[in-house]
Structures are given as C-alpha cells and as structure tokens.
Amino acid sequence: MSFTGDLLKSRVIVITGGGTGLGRAMGERFLQLGATVVIASRRDAVLQAAATEMMALHGGRVVPIACDVRDPEAVEAMIESAWTQCGGVDGLVNNAAGNIAAPTERLSHRAVDSVLGIVLHGSIYCTLALGKRWLAAGRKGRVLSIVTTYAEGGSAYVVPSAAAKAGVLAMTRSLAVEWGPRGITCNAIAPGPFPTKGAWERLLPDPSLLTEAIDRIPVRRAGELLELANLAAFLMSDLSLYINGDCITIDGGEKLKGAGQFSWMGSLTSAQWAALEASARGATTKDRSPREA
Ligand code: HXC
Ligand code: NAP
C-alpha cells in the first residue's frame, strides 16, 4: 500500500525543524515522492548532515538553510534563499518546536518566551513570509502546521506549548478562510506520541513514564514516523485540495480516550463488571412499580 512516486513531483517544500525527528521523516517521504525539500533550523551541522544522508538514501535534492525561526529577519532571509535557490516554493510545513514539561510556576518569563517564540511566532513568521510571496506572485501554496492533541483542550505542565499550539491552530483556521479564495490552503496535524529523540528525551525521559503514556493509547502503541509522514504527504498533495482549515488527529485514539467520561472503566476486572451489572439490574428492578417489575 503506497502513494505513487510522483505524488509530489516538482514541488518545493520548506520544512522547519526538518533535520530531526518528525520533520526529517516528513522530508524523507516528500523526497521519495518527488519533491525538493528545504530543511531549516538553528543547528547548521545537524542540517548539513541530515541533507547529505537524506539525499544518499533517496536521491533528489535537499537544501539545508540555518535559521532561528524566532527571528523574523532570519526567517525572511531563509525564505528568500529557498525561493531563489529552488525557483519558488510550493509548500511550508511549520514543524519546528520547543517544549518544556514543568509545573508552570517553575517557569521564568524567558522560558515562556522561548517556547512561544519558536512555536507561535516562528510559525506565523514563516507562514507570512511565504504567504506574502505567494499572494504577490498569484501562486498557489499549501501550509501544514504540526500542532498537538492538546492544542484544543490545553494541557497541564506544558502551558507555553499548549498556548502556542492553540495559537497556531487559530492561525490555520483563520488563514484557511482569508487566503483560501486566493489558492492557499492551511491545515494542521495533531500527533499523539511519536518516538523522536527531541521530544521523548525531553518530555518522557523515564521509561516508566513511557509505559504510562502507551497505556493511555487505545491501540497500545506509539505512532510510527512513516504513518505521520504519509498523512503529511497526502495533505501537501493535490489529492487533498478540498481539505482546508482542518486539523487531522493521528494518535491511536488517545485524545478520545481522555475525553470519554467512562473511559477509565477499561481497567475494571470481569468480576467488577459482573458486580456492576448485578447492582445496575437490581437498581432498575427496584425503580419499577411492582406491576412493571
Ligand atoms: C524550567 C527551563 C527548562 C526546564 C529550559 N528552561 N528548560 N525552565 N524547566 N526544563 C528555561 C531556561 O532556564 C531559560 O530560562 C529558558 O528556559 C530558555 O532556555 P534556553 O536553554 O536558554 O533556551 P533555548 O536554548 O532557546 O532552548 C529552548 C528550549 C529547548 C525550548 C528550552 O528545550 C529546545 O531547544 N527545544 C527544542 C526541541 C524540543 O523542545 N523538542 C520537543 C518538541 S515536542 P532562564 O530564566 O533561566 O534564562 C512537542 C510536543 C510533544 O512540542 C508532545 C508529547 C509527546
Ligand atoms: P524534535 O526532533 O525536537 O524537533 C524540533 C525541531 O525544531 C528540531 O529540528 C529543532 O532543530 C527545531 N527547532 C527548535 N527551535 C528552533 C528554532 N528556534 N528555530 C528553528 N528551528 C528550531 O521533536 P519532534 O518530536 O520531531 O517534533 C516535531 C514537531 O512535532 C513539533 O512541532 C512537535 O511539537 C510536534 N509533536 C511531536 C510529538 C511527538 O510525540 N514527537 C507529539 C506531538 C507534536 P534545531 O535544534 O536545530 O533548531
């Protein structure tokens, strides 16, 4: 089961944070499907090594450009360089992120600014820099932002990330309406847990935390990077042109399990279920008048 090799033929796609983790997995998939990929993040050495490895594995062209997305001038220079080197750009994946798992009262304002700067400002700066070029050139464009399943409902202990991802989701939905008529679509992916060094070493460093995290997922496993990369490829391709302003969750059902008021009942033993049934049936019988019972 696979997409055909020309799904993204001749497309140029910029991926922020494209040298590691999910960004790199998406970049590799886009390359396999015919795209030219621009990867942008802070660490030039990481980007250079990733570009060399990606081209050795899949052929095609990967252009590494060092850029701190918190800096609007650096973003402008990165997008200008991508556009010039590749003869235009067709798509953007806002994937770069920072996150700190901590009780919120332990965070300084610099810690808050750091996460908001990377996730919220970085995503808006990149989207604006490309969007202005697309609109001026009358060119179509696609923006895909990687958010989180807590972008909508928030989450304790990752407050700057939750606030920033909520903002990115709001940007996605707002621009889908504003720029949709001019050929630019904006969508988001909300991933559940996917094993990447950057996220898991920072947020789930203790194996017991990992076991707990997996236990919460109805399909009982973490996501595979290729599963997310294939979803992203679909959303960057012409197969999904009518999807605009949406956020696709890919989490094995984790978010819904947390939301269902009775989902905790999955931990009941069969004896407890039998006792519950007997008690519920007894209550029903008691509630009826003698004639009904
Ligand atoms: C409290 C912390 C902290 C911590 C850093 N700080 N870590 N405060 N608890 N664990 C504080 C610092 O002391 C400093 O404040 C401020 O934050 C900025 O820290 P720096 O190290 O100077 O910042 P910087 O080098 O810019 O690093 C940014 C970062 C870092 C966000 C802190 O973690 C980073 O570079 N992350 C990028 C990759 C990443 O996070 N990947 C995971 C994405 S996963 P003071 O006041 O001391 O100066 C994700 C979703 C996962 O987003 C979903 C679930 C699986
Ligand atoms: P990751 O490998 O740590 O990716 C983060 C990337 O962002 C890195 O390549 C990093 O590169 C880049 N970055 C950080 N700060 C930057 C800055 N100021 N400017 C430019 N680039 C910057 O983690 P990941 O798991 O692949 O995360 C990728 C995306 O998926 C993120 O948006 C994350 O929120 C989302 N996500 C991940 C999971 C998961 O389980 N893995 C779950 C939900 C959502 P440099 O350090 O070189 O800058």
Quick one: pLDDT band at residue 262, thresholds 50, 70, 90? confident
69 in ligand 2 pocket by Cβ < 6 Å?
yes
Neighbour-count burial for 9-28, b at 16+ CB within 10 Å, e otherwise: eebbbbbbbbbbbbbbbbbb
For 51, counting Cβ atoms within 10 Å of its Cβ (0-12 exposed, 13-18 middle, 19+ buried), the class is buried
Average pLDDT over residues 158-169: 98
What is the total residue count of the chain? 293
Which residue among 20, 28, 152 is best mutated to probe the pocket of ligand 2, counting the most ligand atoms within 8 A of its Cβ?
20
145 in ligand 2 pocket by Cβ < 6 Å?
no
Q: What per-residue confidence (pLDDT) applies to 92?
A: 99
CATH for the 12-285 domain, from 3.40.50.2300, 3.40.50.720, 3.40.50.300, 3.20.20.80: 3.40.50.720
Which residue among 100, 118, 148, 201 is best mutated to probe the pocket of ligand 1, counting the most ligand atoms within 8 A of its Cβ?
100
Report the 3 state secondary structure along 185-240. EEEEEEECCCCCHHHHHHHCCCHHHHHHHHHCCCCCCCCCHHHHHHHHHHHHCHHH
Q: Kindly report the backbone phi and psi dihedral angles of residue 143, in degrees, each rounded to the nearest multiple of 5, phi listed first.
A: -115, 130
Instruction: Verify whether residue 150 is a known catalytic residue.
Output: yes
Report how far apart, in Å, the C-alpha atoms of 67 and of each of 74, 77, 118, 220 are: 6, 8, 11, 37
Average pLDDT over residues 14-18: 99
Q: 126 pLDDT exceeds 60?
A: yes
Residue pLDDT, tens place only, 270-289: 998 899 889 988 887 776 66
232 in ligand 2 pocket by Cβ < 6 Å?
no
Quick one: pLDDT band at residue 219, thresholds 50, 70, 90? very high
- Residue with the nearest Cα to atom 5 of ligand 1? 111
For 187, the token pair is 């969508």
Report how far apart, in Å, the C-alpha atoms of 255 and of each of 154, 219, 272 are: 11, 12, 26
Quick one: pLDDT band at residue 114, thresholds 50, 70, 90? very high
Q: What per-residue confidence (pLDDT) applies to 292?
A: 58
Q: What per-residue confidence (pLDDT) applies to 290?
A: 61
For 101, the token pair is 């798992």
- Residue with the nearest Cα to atom 2 of ligand 1? 111
